[in-house]
Amino acid sequence: MKFETPAGINPIDQLKVIGKPTDRIEGPLKTTGTARYAYERNDTVSNPAYGYVVGAGIAKGRIKAIDQTKAKAAPGVLAIVTAESAGPLKTGKFYVDRLLAGPDIDHYHQAIAVVVAETFEQARAAASLLIVSYTKTKGAYDLAAAKDSGALLDRHQWGPLSKTNVGDFDGAFASAPVKLDETYTTPDQTHAMMEPHATIAQWDGDKLTCWCCIQQLNWGARDVATILGIPTENIRLIATYIGGGFGGKGTALSDIIAASLAARAAGRPVKVALPRPLIANNTIHRPATIQRIRIGATADGTITAIGHESWSGNLSGGGAESATAPTQLMYAGANRFMQMRLAVLDLAEGSAMRAPGEATGMMALEIAMDEMAEKLSMDPVAFRIKNDSQVDPERPNRKFSTRKLVECLQTGAGQFGWTKRQTKPGTVREGQWLIGLGVASAIRGAPIMRSAARVRLSREGIVTVETDMTDIGTGSYTIVGQTAAEMMGVGLDKVIVKLGDSSFPTSPGSAGQWGAASVTSGVYAACVKLREAVAKALGVSVDEAEFVGGQVRAGNRSYPLSDAAKAAELVAQDEMTYGTLSREYAQESFGAHFVEVGVNSYTGEIRVRRMLAVCHAGRILNPKAARSQVIGAMTMGVGAALMEELVVDKQVGFFVNHDLAGYEVPVHADIPHQDVILLEDLDPTMSPMKAKGIGELGIVGVAAAVANAVYNATGIRVRDYPITLDKLIGKLSLIS
């Protein structure tokens, strides 16, 4: 099925199942511990061995030798795989990192060996017996120092242009009555997902099966095939459940390559899980940025010039963090300048982390908007509303498909009690606590991708859906089930959902906020085909047929749905593809975040007291799951604002705090009750589902809202994330 014109009325609009706050259908399995994740698939794999990945002990240089004598003689050891013994290995199509390196080392903890033994403990003990000698060379580990060497980019790997120059930015900025020119920095961050990267690999002749935690199985199969040099059709990846990813498990990483090579060397299945201290320096992370923002405006608050420049670093050949992307679409302004530069750094690869680009870019832009509002003596909400745009600011002939940013800001301001905010910072106190309110807008792209599904109708009237879509804790099982139930006119209890198997029809997987909108559209297409097959089997016109309550009604006739499959199970498969609507319209999701903080006037301790998100993301397929996604994203936004930072040792070249003891993330005590308002709306340009993704929108702008609240509480402006108490405490004594 090809979607080429805006959607009209269709079966999804009945909203008997879709749009309901439905519990996750896999929830009981997860809460009882019976949902099996990648490392736990002992139900399908017998007698596995265990692999332990060894990471490089230097950040840049070469391996002179690996003495394996003691390790090979250790109890239980079955095999030791290095780049030398593995044979030629390529890099994948997406990540540039070499997933088993040698003799050259590109970054600290890059995988250089995997030791295989009968037990995990034996593999770990033997790995410690490897004696690796290196020749070190000089590396680059400091973004600020490498900043001036950064290459100017024309286009970022995610798609948006990296350099735009509309109108006369320099002239408009120079002549603007009110100007802002500030620099903001965001640090390296790690995904810190609950489930570590893990794989069980098993060979059957030249066929490879991996139970893994890859978010996008089609990318994973492609990249494993490329790296190992085997046909894609010889690879089957299974990821029934994934314990969090946030972009950090997009495709093949060292765990799946190590397990595959180890299983081939040992001649039996091998389990590999990366230890937590290895993940930050071995896999991917969100790269640090340095961002310069310039805004020029007239005295009445109309933006006349807006410029955003960003610098980030990566391994040679890697992509940049597209921090300028949201500024290209967020606010009006006739004269515009956007530019990104990428420096080569010898740190672990920088890549996607929840809302790449928008998350980091809005951490800077939304502080700048507050600073500009203060210069103009305008309310920050009013300043944002004044500079709203209903067309793409860089291509005014392209309208937004739907854009309710103003409604998000107004609704949030009313619900949050924004009128109580004091304009002068540092004026509201509760004992030792200084109280402040902050706001930030949110924007996140709403891409939609080709997606396929297969649906089956059994003689018992059970509808089974099969697609390789993954569920990373987002509720994919449930919204897929809800879509099939709505289309086939049955209850959710009559639907079985099977996900996370690369042998199923191909979806785009869980990433980029495209998963929900895309996979449900693919299921819609397959169900249209199944409805046609049902109508044909029952001898009725599909155009007249109504699927409701487990019945198929046509005129004055009614049949049980199961009657269509009496002779044999009915099977239908299709995919949803797209025309040019995404080029004709700017398809984005929007929101607004409001935060109240307390800052201790003596210690500088920051406490988030209240949070509200207002989100506009097309049709909400499952409000309960959507709210869950948003509050999780809001929590990550608090982490980005106040605590998350991978600290770089700029001499040795690695992230020092590479475990959850040193890398701090929010815990329950850090997060207050979070309110979420979902502005129900339909976007007919997206698909027949009229839905957009929402899971990444919830993080965009949160950190800036916290930063703005801290400023409102204290009068101290911090432009260097995270906002830790050491950046406040020396200045708090100046507050009367």
- Residue 337: both structure tokens together: 């300048």
Please return the burial class of 139, using the count of CB atoms within 10 Å of its CB with bins 0-12, 13-18 and 19+: buried
For the beta sheet containing 198-204, the strands, ordered from the edge strand earlier in sequence to the opposite edge, are 77-82, 111-117, 49-55, 270-273, 198-204, 207-211, 235-238
- Pick from 608, 610, 587, 588: nearest CA to 599: 608
How many other CB atoms sit within 10 Å of the CB of residue 423?
A: 12
Task: Render the burial of 72-111: b for 16+ CB within 10 Å, e for the rest.
Answer: eebeebbbbbbbeebeebeebebbbbbbbbbbebbbbbbb
Q: Following DSSP, what letter does each residue of 491-552 receive, concatenated?
A: -GGGEEEE-SBTTSPP---S-TTTHHHHHHHHHHHHHHHHHHHHHHHHT--TTT-EEETTEE
Local structure of 258: helix, strand or coil = helix
Q: Are 694 and 624 in contact (CB under 8 A)?
A: no
Q: Following DSSP, what letter does each residue of 290-310 receive, concatenated?
A: EEEEEEEE-TTS-EEEEEEEE
CA gap 303, 383 in Å, rounded: 9
- Pick from 608, 731, 581: nearest CA to 670: 608
- Pick from 51, 47, 109: nearest CA to 79: 51
The secondary structure of residue 53, as a DSSP letter, is: E
Please report, for residues 27, 160, 408, 445, the alpha-carbon distance to residue 328 in angstroms, rounded to integers and kept in the order given: 40, 9, 20, 12
Vertex 503: Cα angle to 216 and 505 (nearest 5):
70
CA gap 32, 615 in Å, rounded: 32
- Residue carrying structure tokens 């908007």: 369
Could you confirm whether 696 is annotated as catalytic?
Answer: yes
Please report, for residues 108, 161, 304, 589, 630, the alpha-carbon distance to residue 355 in angstroms, rounded to integers and kept in the order given: 26, 17, 28, 12, 12
- Beta-carbon contacts of 15 under 8 Å, excluding residues fewer than 6 positions away, are 486
- Residue carrying structure tokens 């307390």: 598
- Residue carrying structure tokens 């004055």: 556
- Residue 503: both structure tokens together: 């042998």
Active site residues: 696
